[in-house]
């Protein structure tokens, strides 16, 4: 009798144990957020900056005034988050149709060491050659990211295959170059396009 | 009891013993055949296993290998892997009766392969973490390697991964068994 009882307890422990491991091994898949981004009211002034574009020429943020700007910070050796976001940018552009001419899609590298203009040109070109890729030295990048509250950190200085941890939000500047909306990572491209349209309508 | 009755009883007991021995013989034959069949199955284990670890929806992200040739100090060219990276996604369904854990992946197109998971924290900071213990798949369940989550990370691409081509990956499990998967390269 006691033995049977002990066996049932053991069986239950095993079952519960399995269930626990299962949930620990398979966390919920992150899904696209449905809500719109954080709107800054009033829009916040951000500093102008100068970086090198994928053509090798300098580009000032102020050059893009008059357009709504979508800014994303990433690196070309990033295999998941960055290409997914650039694919989402493609969807935003497609959703906007002709209106997309009034929008600049910008990828700012947080890995100036590896992201040369040539590398950026190849990388950006695989998504849309009209997208703008920007790179620069770490000091410049650091001051820009601080302005936007973007965090980034190179994970290793020994491993040439280092990864970079970074903020994955999309920053939207209005036509006057002010920070207007911040969309969290994995926001539905349709919602971003809606936000851009609303901004262009004023 | 008559004498005839006793002798009939003895005959009955003897008959029982003979039947038992015959049955035992048949049982031994069954065991022998079973062992032979198992050995035969073991020889085909790889294929049987590949049929039971079912991979679907696999794709690799098109990517540039980066610089693959460098000039050495003697003016010669060194052909080496580039710094390019890519990610491979797939669903693996474990149709075996045993727990399996995907522990490593190898492929001719990459110098280094790791199992990774993208984790995004409350501040929207994205980090890629290596899945050190492998990806466990319970019998009858599946592992989803999908964008924004788990993926097979390819480092040091040896050549550009071009949309339309197919790469081959070998997935190794903790049990020592492995499967080979053909993965199409798709637009990034």
Average pLDDT over residues A162-177: 97
The answer to whether B174 and B94 are in contact (CB under 8 A) is: no
**Is the Cβ pair B148, A80 closer than 8 Å?**
yes
Name the residue with higher pLDDT: A8 or B170. Answer: B170
Residues in chain B whose beta carbon is closer than 8 A to a beta carbon of chain A? 61-64, 66, 83-87, 112, 116, 118, 120, 123-128, 135-136, 138, 141, 143-144, 146-149, 151, 153-156, 187-188
- For position A166, what pLDDT does the model report? 98
The answer to whether A153 and A166 are in contact (CB under 8 A) is: yes
Cβ neighbours of B188 in A, within 8 Å: 83, 86-87, 126-127
Average pLDDT over residues A136-154: 97
pLDDT tens figures, B52-67: 999 999 999 999 998 7
Q: Say if residue A15's pLDDT is above 90.
A: no
The alpha helices in A39-157, defined as continuous H runs, are: 81-96, 117-125, 138-148
Q: Is the ipTM of this complex over 0.85?
A: no
pLDDT tens figures, A67-104: 999 999 999 999 999 999 999 999 999 999 999 999 99
For residues A187 and A35, what is the distance between their CA atoms, to the nearest angstrom?
A: 8
Omega before residue A157 within 30° of 0, cis: no
Average pLDDT over residues B103-107: 98
Cβ neighbours of A110 in B, within 8 Å: none
**Mean pLDDT score of chain B, rounded to an integer?**
86
Confidence band, pLDDT 50/70/90 cuts, at residue B77: low
- For B188, which residue in chain A has the nearest alpha carbon? A83
Query: Which candidate from B86, B127, B146 shows the least CB-CB separation from A79?
Result: B86
Pairing of the two strands A103-109 and A132-135:
parallel
The answer to whether A163 and A155 are in contact (CB under 8 A) is: yes
What contacts B73, CB < 8 A, 6 or more positions away?
A: none
**Is the Cβ pair B66, A119 closer than 8 Å?**
yes
Average pLDDT over residues A120-126: 95
Give me B124's structure tokens: 């929207």
- For position A23, what pLDDT does the model report? 40
Cβ neighbours of B128 in A, within 8 Å: 78-81, 163, 165
Q: Say if residue A32's pLDDT is above 70.
A: no
Q: How far is CA A146 from the centre of its chain?
A: 16
The answer to whether A106 and A128 are in contact (CB under 8 A) is: no
Q: Say if residue B2's pLDDT is above 80.
A: no
Interface test with A, best of B59, B124, B143, B149 (most A CBs within 10 A): B124
Residues B143-154 as b or e (16 or more Cβ within 10 Å = b): bebebbbbbbbb
pTM comes to 0.77
Query: Which candidate from A30, A86, A126 shows the least CB-CB separation from B148?
Result: A30
Give me B167's structure tokens: 């790469």
Range from B16-25, B68-77, B79-88, B93-102 carrying the lowest mean pLDDT: B68-77
Confidence band, pLDDT 50/70/90 cuts, at residue B113: very high
- For A77, which residue in chain B has the nearest alpha carbon? B85
The answer to whether B70 and B96 are in contact (CB under 8 A) is: no
Q: Say if residue B41's pLDDT is above 80.
A: no
Residues in chain A whose beta carbon is closer than 8 A to a beta carbon of chain B? 18, 21-22, 25-26, 29-30, 77-81, 83-84, 86-87, 114, 119, 122-123, 126-127, 151, 160-161, 163, 165-169, 184-186
CA distance A15 to chain B (A): 13
The answer to whether A110 and A141 are in contact (CB under 8 A) is: yes
- For position B33, what pLDDT does the model report? 73
Cβ count within 10 A of residue A108: 24
> For chain B, how far is it from start to end, CA to CA, in angstroms?
95
CA atoms in the 13 A half-sphere facing the CB of A155: 16
- For position B68, what pLDDT does the model report? 58
Share of chain B above pLDDT 70, in %: 80
Confidence band, pLDDT 50/70/90 cuts, at residue B70: low
Residues A172-191 as b or e (16 or more Cβ within 10 Å = b): bbbbebebbbbbbbbbbbeb
- In terms of average pLDDT, the best of B63-72, B73-82, B143-152 is B143-152
**Mean pLDDT score of chain A, rounded to an integer?**
87
């Amino acid at each position: 009798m006691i033995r049977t009882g002990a066996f049932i307890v053991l069986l239950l422990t095993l079952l519960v144990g399995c269930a626990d491991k299962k949930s620990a091994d398979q966390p919920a898949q992150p899904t696209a957020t449905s809500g719109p981004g954080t709107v800054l009211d009033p829009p916040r002034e951000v500093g102008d900056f100068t970086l090198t574009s994928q053509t090798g020429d300098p580009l000032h943020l102020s050059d893009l005034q008059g357009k709504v700007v979508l800014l994303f910070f990433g690196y070309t050796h990033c295999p998941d988050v960055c290409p997914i976001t650039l694919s989402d940018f493609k969807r935003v552009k497609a959703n906007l149709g002709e209106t997309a001419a009034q929008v600049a899609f910008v990828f700012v590298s947080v890995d100036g060491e590896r992201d040369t203009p040539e590398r950026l040109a190849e990388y950006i070109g695989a998504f849309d050659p009209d997208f703008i890729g920007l790179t620069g030295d770490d000091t410049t990048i650091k001051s820009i990211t601080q302005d936007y509250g973007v965090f980034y950190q190179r994970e290793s200085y020994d491993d040439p295959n280092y990864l970079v941890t970074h903020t994955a939000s999309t920053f939207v500047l209005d036509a006057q170059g002010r920070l207007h909306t911040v969309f969290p990572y994995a926001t539905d491209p349709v919602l971003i396009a809606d936000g851009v349209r609303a901004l262009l309508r004023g | 009891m008559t004498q005839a009755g006793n002798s009939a009883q003895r005959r009955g007991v003897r008959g029982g013993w003979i039947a038992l021995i015959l049955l035992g013989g048949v049982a031994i034959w069954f065991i022998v055949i079973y062992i032979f069949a198992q050995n035969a199955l073991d020889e085909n284990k790889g294929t049987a296993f590949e049929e039971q670890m079912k991979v679907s929806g696999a794709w690799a992200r098109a990517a540039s290998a980066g610089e693959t040739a460098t000039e050495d100090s003697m003016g010669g060219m060194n052909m080496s892997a580039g710094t390019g990276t890519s990610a491979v996604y797939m669903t693996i369904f474990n149709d075996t009766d045993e727990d399996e854990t995907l522990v490593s992946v190898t492929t001719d197109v990459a110098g280094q392969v790791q199992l990774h998971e993208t984790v995004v924290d409350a501040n929207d900071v994205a980090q890629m973490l290596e899945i050190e213990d492998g990806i466990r798949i319970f019998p009858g369940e599946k592992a989803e390697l999908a964008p924004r989550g788990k993926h097979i990370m390819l480092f040091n691409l040896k050549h550009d991964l071009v949309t339309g081509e197919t790469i081959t990956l070998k997935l190794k499990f903790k049990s020592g068994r492995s499967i080979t998967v053909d993965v199409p390269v798709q637009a990034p």
